[in-house]
Every structure is written in C-alpha cells, then in structure tokens.
Amino acid sequence: MNSFIVKGNIVWAETNKELKSAEKGYLVIKDGLSEGVFDSIPEEYMDYELIDAGDNLVVPGLVDLHVHAPQFAFRGTNMDLELMDWLNTYTFPEESKFSDISYADNIYSYFTEAIKKSATTRVVAFSTLHVEGTMCLMDKLEKSGIISYVGKVNMDRNSPDELREESAEASSENTIRWLEECEKRGYRCVKPILTPRFVPSCTDELMEKLSVIRKEWRLPVQSHLSENTGEVAFVKELEPWSQFYGDAYDKFGLFGGEDGCIMAHCVLSGEDEIALMKKNGVFIAHCPESNENLKSGIAPVRKYMEEGLNVGLGSDIAGGTTESIFDAAVDAVKVSKLYWRYVDNSFEPLSFSDAFYLATKGGGAFFGKVGSFEKGYDGDVLILSDEAIPCPRYLSPVERLERFAYLHGDKTGIKGKWVKGERIL
C-alpha cells in the first residue's frame, strides 16, 4: 500500500544551505514514507510501481502554515488599507457571512479546490467563529486528501456584532461543541487547532478558558503576533500588564508548548519576544506578501533562522493574494533583500535555497517529519512540469526549480501530487 518509485529530476532541501538534487534519480516511497533518493533502484524495491516523471522535476510538497480560508472570496482586491482598518472594512463583514452555511459551503469549495490544485500538501487554516461553517471546511479538506489543521476562530471583543461571540463563556462552549463534533466525525486528514484570532479579539477571560480547553484536549494553537504597528499599539493598550505582545498569549499557556504553536507574521517582535518564541518552540509563519500588501513591513527571517527558531511560510490569504507557496518563497527572498538594504544589513538576504527550505522542511516540521525526501519523511511529493517556461539552454534541476518558482510555473505545471503517499492529483 502506497509504495512506489518516482523517477525524475529530484530536488529537495535537507538544510537551508544548499538544495540537494538527483538528475534522473529515483525517489522511493514505502508505505507512504520516503526511503530516500537513489541513482538507481535498489534491489529490494524492484517490484514497486515505477512512475516515470520523464524530464519533469520532483520535489516535496509545500507547506502553508497560515491561511484564512473564508477570505478566499476577496483575495486580490482591496489592497489599500493597513491591518486594523482592512479587518474592519473588508474582512470582518466578509467573515460574518459565514453564519450562512450555504455561503460558507460555496466559498470553502473554491478554497479547497484551489489548495488541492496548488503545490501545497499541508495547510494550517483559520475558518471563522462559526462552528457549522468550520465543520463544512473540515469536511471538504478531509475529502481533498490535503493534511491540515483547521481552527474555529475565537472572538469576543472589538468586532461588529455579526462577528463576535456574545461572551467568553459562549465562545468557550462553541469551541467545545466544535471539538466534540470533530471527534465524532473521526477525520483522518484534518485536525482541530485552537484559534484565538489575536489579542485584540479575545478578552483575558476568553484566553483563560481557552487555556483550560487546550490542556484538556491537548491542542496545538495558532494566532497572530506583532504584525503591524497599529495592532501592536492596540495590544499594549488592551493588555497594559503584558511585557510584550507574545506575553499576552504566554500568560495563558497559548504561546508554544509541546502540542505545537504557530504565530503568524512576527514582523515587529522584540528581543524578549524572540527569546520566548525560541524557548517555547513557537513556529513562525512568515507571510511576506501579506506583510507588503497591508504595509506591515518585513519580518527579520534570517535573524530567526540564525537564532534557530522554527520558521515556515504562510500565504495568509487574503492579506496575501495567492495560495501559491512558491510565490511566498520568492517573495521571502525578495523582501529579505529590501530588509538588508533598508533595515539591517547585518543579516544576509535569503537565497532561493533558504526559501525553498522554509517552504518545505521548515514549515513541514510542524507536522512531524514532513517536507523532505530523507528516509522516514512523509511521502509528500509533487511532479512539476516547466515546459510552459521556454528554456533555451541547459539548466540544472536546482536552476529549473528556481526559475519555476520565480515564473509562477505552478499556475500550469503541477502534474502529480501525493500526500503521505496518497495520490490526490
């Protein structure tokens, strides 16, 4: 079951330093897990099905650590405001529509289809605060074969009536109802993740209750952190006792921990916050396009990598416009160069190798052994055709992959996709 060999021009990252590659190599998947990449087929796998990808590229699936599924309907529009105004003007009104299950069903179908067709094999998503809508998204993702975490959002302050739970108590009860429903449905691919939207949306009372739920249910948690100056100032005003933004999660046991924690953005994190993220094993979801679009700035990703923090990439639809994590990788490289130029030239810009590492193994670590072809890693595999990109001379597989990423090859070039050894495209 789920054992096969893919022959092609294989590229993968084991570290961020240099991409590994094997021209006309053989990737062996056994029971859904990688056995490694070989120059020829080892004797013991001779009877496996051989999938010949021809001259195509073969790479690990990409990982999206941060995306808002309900914002899919307005991605690529409304690029004029900063975070807090953008939320109030466009995002909260849109998310409030997800009380209507038929609206939710429609948008989540589009979203899931887009993710399925993309290079993404793993996704960590926000839904909205609505339990039924969240179940709808989870059902669709489960069916797609993408392995994912989905969070019903908690919000009990600073948003319009239509998009606010009536109390901390109600939010907590909704959350438990959602978790029980998840358990009942016995999902194989999709799991719940606790999702206080961000500090401005959650009272301390709610945070306290989520803390209890987290411990009882052993849940990972996701939220937003230090994204935009206006937001950071608002957090300071709301939680004057907090030493820094992350402290307002940490106090409630929602900042790291062995069940996993993702904080999106971290554009403005100070030294104390960085130290605590490191200590607590927080995963940073770097969302470079969103941080440009909402005028937030550029996260110091090289610094985070050098300090040994966990970093992956996020599309952050609809702050970001595209579900493409290839685009996110390229954007990460580009903005790191501007960071180097304008903010701090003591940190080298990211290379494509750095960015592809973040897009695969970096974010994949949140899911376990995911995002590489080293032995024992989950069999998340993509076959990529770059035939739509004219190539008038020889390029190595690594050069072809870089070019594929920069030139949006994933718009037309995804020819095969496996998640943990299951073919879904």
Q: Kindly list the residues in this chain that would bind a second copy in the complex (CB under 8 A).
A: 72-77, 79-80, 106-107, 110, 113-114, 289, 292-293, 295-298, 321-322, 333-335, 337-338, 340-343, 349, 351-352, 388-390, 392-393, 395, 399, 402-408, 411-412
Cβ 349 to a second copy, closest distance in Å? Answer: 7
In whole angstroms, the minimum distance from the beta carbon of 73 to a second copy comes to: 5
For the chain, what is the total number of helices (H) and then of strands (E)? 15, 17
* Rounded alpha-carbon distances, angstroms, from residue 376 to 29, 32, 142, 353: 9, 9, 24, 22
67 vs 226, 285, 339, CA distance in Å? 17, 10, 24
Residue 20 CB, nearest distance to a second copy (Å)? 18
- Residues 47, 48, 54: CA angle, nearest 5 degrees: 120
- Shortest distance, position 360 Cβ to a second copy, whole Å: 18
First and final CA of the chain: distance in angstroms? 17
Q: Which is nearer to a second copy, 41 or 395 (CB)?
A: 395
**Least distance CB 341 / a second copy (angstroms):** 5
User: Between 212 and 343, whose beta carbon lies closer to a second copy?
Assistant: 343
Min CB(263)–a second copy separation in Å: 21
Token pair of 386, please? 């770059």
Identify whether the C-beta of residue 116 lies closer than 8 Å to the C-beta of residue 144: yes
Query: Taking the complex as a whole, how short is the minimal distance between the CB of residue 135 and a second copy, in angstroms?
Result: 19
Question: Looking at the DSSP assignment, which residues form a beta bridge with residue 22?
Answer: 10
Q: What is the DSSP string of 359-370?
A: IIIIHHGGGSS-
Nearest CB to a second copy, comparing residues 23 and 39: 23
Please work out, in degrees rounded to the nearest 5, the angle formed at the alpha carbon of residue 236 by the alpha carbons of 235 and 237.
90
Smallest separation (angstroms) from a second copy to the CB of 389: 7
Indicate the Cα dihedral angle 83, 84, 87, 89, nearest 10°.
-110
Distance CA 23, CA 243 (A): 52
- 110/180 with CB nearer a second copy: 110
Between 26 and 404, whose beta carbon lies closer to a second copy? Answer: 404
Q: Which is nearer to a second copy, 260 or 319 (CB)?
A: 319
Shortest Å distance, C-beta 314 to a second copy: 17
**Encoding tokens for residue 228?**
């935009």
> Residue 114 or 170: which CB sits closer to a second copy?
114
Q: Measured between alpha carbons, how far is 186 from 235 in angstroms, rounded to an integer?
A: 37
Residue 5 or 123: the one with the smaller Cβ distance to a second copy is: 123
Ramachandran category for residue 186: left, alpha or beta (phi over 0 → left; psi -120 to 50 → alpha): left
Minimum distance, C-beta of residue 407 to a second copy, in the bound complex (Å): 5
For a second copy, the closer of residues 174 and 296 by Cβ is: 296
What token pair was written down for 92?
Answer: 């909260």
Question: Exposure string (b/e) for 290-325, b if CB count within 10 Å is 16 or more?
Answer: bbbbbebbbbbbbebbeeebbbbbbbbbbbbbbbbb
Q: Which is nearer to a second copy, 107 or 179 (CB)?
A: 107
- We find the least distance from the C-beta atom of residue 23 to a second copy, in angstroms, to be 16
Our CB check for a second copy shows the closer of 316 and 378 to be: 316
Sign of the CA dihedral with 395 first, then 400, 402, and 403 last: positive
Coil, strand, or helix at residue 310? Answer: strand
CA atoms within 13 A on the CB side of 80: 4
Strands 414-419 and 422-423: antiparallel
Phi, psi (5° rounding) for residue 358?
A: -60, -40
Q: Give the integer Cα–Cα distance in Å for 268 and 290.
A: 14
